[in-house]
Amino acid sequence: MLFVADSMLGKLARYLRIMGYDTIYQKSYSDQRLSELAAEGRVLLTRSTVRATEYPHVIFIDKDLVKDQLTVLGSNLRLSRDQQKWFTRCSICNSPLSRVDREGAQAHVPDYVFFRYPERIQFCPVCERYYWPGTHRERMLARLKDWGF
């Protein structure tokens, strides 16, 4: 299941990426760009009533809060609860994360992570961000669990 999130759905896109879904997000799209993405088989998530009638696979999102937006999605398609997939994708640029070599990571992560969870450090090869288990991740996990995932 591949998604493209329309403008104003950036936060939803981040959560979908955290859950492992390949989700394109830009602040705005030309109609041509959207058509190309639709041709890839991506499901368009949009707040626009106009676009909601123009694209082949579309889910119209009429809610403001991410929690409610995910509920709308869940009522239209089956969102996986597979937590193995969580945190496998860069929440900023959508690229799959990869393992890092231990030496390269040391300068980029807190010492306690480097020494305690070296095997859980991940790296985005595209935007060069490092990811590791920490309070930010814990908060997002707690939120998703709160929301029934």
Distance in Å, CB of 104 to Zn ion, minimum: 16
Q: Quick one: which segment of 39-47, 88-96, 105-113, 139-147 binds Zn ion (CB under 5 A)?
A: 88-96
Does the footprint of Zn ion cover residue 19 (CB under 5 A)? Answer: no
* 93 touches Zn ion (CB under 5 A): yes
- As measured in angstroms, the least distance from the Cβ of 92 to Zn ion is 5
Complex with Zn ion: residue 95 or 106, whichever CB lies closer: 95
Distance in angstroms (rounded) separating the CA atoms of residues 78 and 97: 24
CA distance 111 to 99: 17
CB of 17 to Zn ion, least distance (A): 9
Q: Which of residues 44, 90, 109, 121 is near Zn ion by CB under 5 A?
A: 90
Number of residues interacting with Zn ion: please give it, by CB under 5 A: 7
Helix 135-146 to helix 10-18 angle (10° resolution) is 100
Site for Zn ion in 126-145 (CB under 5 A): 126-127
Look at residue 13 and give its three-state secondary structure: helix
Enumerate the β-bridge partners of residue 89.
96
Does 124 participate in binding Zn ion (rule CB under 5 A)? Answer: yes
Give the shortest CB-19-to-Zn ion separation in angstroms. 16
Q: What is the secondary structure of 42-99 as a DSSP string?
A: PEEEES-HHHHHHSSSEEE---SSHHHHHHHHHHHS-----GGGTT-B-TTT-PBPEE
Interacting residue ranges for Zn ion, rule: CB under 5 A: 90, 92-93, 95, 124, 126-127
